[in-house]
Structure 1
Amino acid sequence: MSNITIYHNPNCGTSRNTLEMIRNSGAEPDVILYLETPPARDELVKLIADMGISVWALLRKNVEPFTDLGLEEGKFSDDQLIDFMLQYPILINRPIVVTPLGTRLCRPSEVVLDILPGEQKGAFAKEDGEQVVDNTGKRLK
């Protein structure tokens, strides 16, 4: 069992880049496909608390349910927003990564480097070609 977990959406480039940076550190994380297996309420609440962000900050705002539900109007409590995220997991922003060093919403994907216990094993470039780690495993930005 891994000591790293990623709440992952394989259709998201940021999520794919984050997963590959975890693997570039030599770790194989537990991958939770959160759209298929959303976290339980108490787990989601704990993730938000551990990240030190607001419920609003985790809410994905550029997807259809957000507008359809009228969430942009700011008329819902945190508990109600969490209910919506559990009912429509696409509303949960991603990727979320949990390691022994912390829990982060990894947007941009290189945020994961702040909480990985292992060093990068070699060069890494994002899917768009942006170099993030050099040949010696050193973070470039």
Structure 2
Amino acid sequence: MTEAPHIFHNPRCSKSRQTLELLQQKGIEPEIIRYLETPPTEQELLHILDLLGCQPRDIMRTKEPEYREQALDNENLSSEALVEAMVRTPKLIERPIVVANGKAVIGRPPENVLTIIE
């Protein structure tokens, strides 16, 4: 590995804690980004989406009240509008996301991270 992996982490989320623990069990100390406190910029989120090979809606937490409150279920919203919503309201971003070795994966289940670190 050339640089330490990054984990977009919410310590209150069990899957996020399990993913971090799995990385640490493998001897990897990732850079922990508490994305609720330090949300990614639009550019960072677009880069993550590119690495994931996903569209913005694919990584949105659609069951969060903020999703409905901001009418983000409107199919006519552009990708740019969805990214802006996630930057403005990072609680909407699925977690955890691990970036390593020029790849990214959502740690649901936590074992997904093994595909990009081994």
TM-score of the superposed pair, with normalisation by structure 1: 0.78
Is the aligned partner of 1:112 residue 2:83?
no
CA distance, structure 2, for counterparts of residue 21 and residue 38 of structure 1: 23
Q: How many residues align?
A: 116
Checking the alignment, whether the CA contact within 8 Å between 1:101 and 1:116 is kept in structure 2 is no
**Who is 1:39 aligned against?**
40
RMSD: 1.2
Look up the SS of the partner of 1:72 in the other structure: coil
Q: Is the 2:51–2:102 contact (alpha carbons within 8 Å) kept by the matching residues of 1?
A: no
- Residue by residue over 1:93-115, the C-alpha shift from the partner in whole angstroms, topping out at 9 and shown as x without a partner, is 11110111621112121101111
Q: Which amino acid aligns with 1:7?
A: F
Q: Which residue number in structure 2 is paired with residue 25 of structure 1? A: 26
Give unpaired runs (5+ residues) of structure 1: 118-141
Name 2:4's counterpart in structure 1.
3
Q: Which has the larger radius of gyration?
A: 1
Q: How does 1:1-141 map to 2 (within 5 A)?
A: 3-100=4-101, 102-117=103-118
Residues 99 and 105 in structure 2, CA contact (< 8 A), matched pair in contact too: yes
Q: Please say if residues 6 and 98 of structure 1, whose CA atoms lie closer than 8 Å, have aligned partners that are also in contact.
A: yes
Q: Percent identity?
A: 36
Unaligned ranges ≥5, structure 2: none
Q: What is the rounded CA distance, in whole Å, between the counterparts of 1:25 and 1:61 in structure 2?
A: 32
Q: Say which structure, 1 or 2, has more relative contact order (CA 8 Å, 6+ apart).
A: 2
TM-score by length of 2: 0.93
3-state secondary structure, aligned to 1:110? helix
Q: Partner letter of residue 55 of structure 1? A: P
Bigger shift: residues 13-22 or 100-109: 100-109
Residue aligned with 2:73, SS? helix
Contact 2:10-2:35 within 8 A present in 1 as well = yes
